[in-house]
Amino acid sequence: MKEIILLLLFCHVASPVTHSLKIFHTGSTEVPNFPEFVGVALVDEVQIGHYDSNTKRAVPKHWMNKVIADYPGHLEWYTARNLEAHQFFKAELQTLKQRFNQTGGVHTYQRMVGCEWDDVTGDYVNGFHQHGYDGEDWLVLDLKTLTWIAPTLQAVITKQNRNNDKAELAACWDFLSQVCIDLLKKYVHYGKSTLQRTVLPSVSLLQKSPSSPVSCHATGFYPDKGMLFWTRDGEELQDLMDQGEILPNHDGTFQRSVQLDVSSVKPEDWGKYECVFQLSGVKEDIVTKLDPAVIKTNNPGINTALVIGVVGLLLLLVICITGVFIWRRNNNGFRPANTLETSSAKPASPT
């Protein structure tokens, strides 16, 4: 069956040179307190447009209001494309549930479409068109061969149908290589003052308990090219660090954390360690010393400096008496999950 995906575009910029547009759609069934269909548009991981099936209206954010003012029909087009995409997602979810022999329950169908463009060379860099079902890959478009790839057996039928539809494949390529890039350039032009800004973060040292790793947390920086790492005597560490991913904040800035395993660090050596934050385009680094007095902990009332001092004395006592000591530490953490959806600003029909 021919499947026409109507996309909705807002643009995304990923660095001062390479700009990228990402479009996310999510359809779902029986998810409590969540719309049946959501569309989200991002620029540089900053949300600039939103649509959901509850309100049935598109809401521009940030500089997209300037775009809407100059192109009044854009908002109506964006809303209409989401309405049509919602109907497609409802039908697709029913097809997928039958394909997997499922009846009711919570299920999600997602799609991400986008492109990348170099604003220095003016070159098309990359494009992507991916589908997922219940958190697993469903279909991926290989732009080198312009063919669909099916990661699962259940997707083979859909893959074959789409690969046989040459007109639809051509439409996908036209959208990703032409329409997407043209829109991306327009949005970058309108959002230049926001996208090219530089914002330094606030940096904090966090620790769940005296036996946990110390986390250096930087939040509120922009763009998303922040490096965060620990050093000892000015030398970057590798073996003791656990580098976290760069994650978006709700205001369009970013955050990142890096943990330091202090289980083998002697209390008297803590002053040799520093957390360093570096931001692309900014010469001066933000340096935070590993100081027990500034560490924020989940255990109010515990004086971290006092704990370190007592541990040091006990350690010396144990060394003197037995000559042997073993410290064990457990690092428990989690990785937040991000679900976004976007839209585009010119009719196109990638599958």
Q: What is the pLDDT of residues 168-219, one digit of tens each?
A: 999 999 999 998 888 888 888 999 888 888 999 999 999 998 889 999 999 9
Q: 294 Cβ partners below 8 Å, 6+ apart?
A: 205, 288
Could you tell me if 161 and 150 are in contact, meaning their C-beta atoms sit under 8 angstroms apart?
no
* Exposed/middle/buried for residue 29 (C-beta within 10 Å: 0-12, 13-18, 19+): middle
**Mean pLDDT of all residues belonging to the chain:** 80
| Region 209-309: CATH code | 2.60.40.10
Compute CA distances 6 → 78, 168, 351, whole Å.
10, 12, 8
Q: What pLDDT score was predicted for residue 343?
A: 35
**Does residue 54 or residue 47 have the better pLDDT?**
54
Compute CA distances 289 → 65, 202, 231, 236, 281, whole Å.
43, 14, 10, 14, 23
Q: What pLDDT score was predicted for residue 300?
A: 52
Q: At what angle do helices 156-164 and 166-174 cross, to 10 degrees?
A: 80
Of the candidates 342, 11, 22, 7, the one whose C-alpha atom is nearest the C-alpha of residue 172 is 7
- What are the sequence ranges of the domains in the chain? 18-195, 209-309
Is CATH 3.30.500.10 what the domain over 18-195 is classified as, yes or no? yes
Whether pTM > 0.75 for this model: the answer is: no
Residue reference for tokens 């990638």: 350
Which tens digit of pLDDT belongs to each residue from 207-261?
998 889 999 999 999 888 889 999 999 999 877 778 889 998 888 889 999 999 9
CA angle 275, 280, 282 (to 5 degrees): 80
Q: What pLDDT score was predicted for residue 341?
A: 34
